[in-house]
Amino acid sequence: MANVGQETCYRVPDLIGYAAALFTAAGCDGDKPATIAAGLVEADLLGHTTHGLQLAPAYLGELESGGMTPKGKPDVVADRGGAVTWDGRRLPGVWLTARAVELAVERAPAHGVVAVAVRRSHHIGCLASFLQRATDRGLMIIISSSDPAVASVAPFGGRTAVFTPDPIAVGIPTDGDPILIDISASITTNGMSGRLRREGKRFPGVWALDAQGRPTDDPAALFTDPPGTLLPVGGADHGHKGYGLALLIEALTQGLGGYGRAEGPTGWGASVFVQVIDPGAFGGTAAFRRETGWLAAACRANPPASGVDVVRLPGQRGLERKRRALAEGIALYPGIMDALAPYAQKFGVTPPRPLAGPD
């Protein structure tokens, strides 16, 4: 199957190779191009289309302007074996986070729990795209991020932005597919808000406040002068829940890294927290999988509520989509290849050929 409806599909390796060639031509060294490309395409495979290859043109623009550092390694601020802090030097965040996960995975068997804080990273893309790097090894993983130079979410009860959407992702191994949780402290993300605004659409519910603090379903309210804000998880009624989550994530990412909003940074970036946990250091790997497997099965077997076809686990639909796309090709969100075309022309990189449609 080459096409899904009228969508244009591509082979996944071709897309990764294309993106890697663009990042190589833009000046990234070593394994950075391949890591960035694979991470962005992984997000599309899992269905996180606002944080997949759609980000590539913006990343290439940041490399062009000097906002993203193309070469080198992070500086080690502290290393106690199980607790590590890096200064990311505004290196590509997808690459930095992948390296942080790899370091934590490597050390987890010896330390049981390993945490890596990364300050002054560039944007890290989709958090869910890193989770299987740990769960495939039987390890549990937690990743969170924030951008201390940006504010688009107000604290509960307020109307002036303090936080970013502050995502947190968790990968939990089971006796089958892993549970892949990817949520944010706000109801939606900046990326989705921007997409809906460009397309002239509205939020499915009252997800924002306008500049006067009035609840609204119009994403354009976030782009006025002064701007409105996104509501935290729980909305106008129970937003204290998302507010509390945002405070936790800001402390993990900026507090532990020792660099954040207090320093008044500028430019698109991220503060990152990665934690990898080896169940073998606690009640045992087999016991962990027994418990998480039972829980996963109980959720899937739960009778669906009215209007719901089936109860799914977080990440289940994304993993199904990924398996299908690896076998049949992936259809990108409209406009992504067009946005990359100027960079392909500039760098002399040939775009991938789409898969042929049915005869």
Answer whether residue 129 shows pLDDT above 70: yes
Q: What's the residue count for the chain?
A: 359
3-state helix, strand, coil in the chain (%, to 5): 40, 15, 40
> Is pLDDT at 45 greater than 50 in this prediction?
yes
Q: Dihedral through CA 58, CA 62, CA 65, CA 71, nearest 10?
A: -140
324, two tokens: 């299908």
What CA–CA distance (Å, rounded) separates 46 from 178?
Answer: 13
**pLDDT mean over 348-357:** 90
Mean pLDDT of the chain: 95
pLDDT of residue 2: 39
CA gap 312, 235 in Å, rounded:
24
CA 305 and chain centroid, separation: 30
Assess whether pLDDT exceeds 50 at residue 359: no
pLDDT at residue 5, as a whole number:
42
Omega prior to 148 cis, within 30 of 0: no
Q: What pLDDT does 358 receive?
A: 43
Q: What percent of the chain is modeled with pLDDT above 90?
A: 96
pLDDT for 1 equals 34
What gap in Å lies between CA 120 and CA 102, rounded to an integer?
A: 19
Q: The whole model's pTM is what?
A: 0.94
Give the mean pLDDT of 194-215.
94
Q: How confident is the model at residue 356 (pLDDT cuts 50, 70, 90)?
A: confident
Looking up tokens 């990764």 gives 16
pLDDT for residue 357: 54
Per-residue model confidence as pLDDT tens digits over 98-128: 999 999 999 999 999 999 999 999 999 999 9
With a CB cutoff of 8 Å and minimum separation 6, the contacts of 216 are 206, 208, 209, 210, 228
Domains of the chain plus CATH, in order, are 76-187+231-314 (3.30.1370.60)
* pLDDT at position 3 over 60: no
**C-alpha dist (Å) from residue 306 to 261, 312, 315:** 45, 15, 22
**Taking residues 239-254, what's their average pLDDT?**
98
Lowest mean pLDDT among 76-85, 136-145, 191-200, 320-329: 191-200
Q: What is the mean pLDDT of residues 241-251?
A: 98
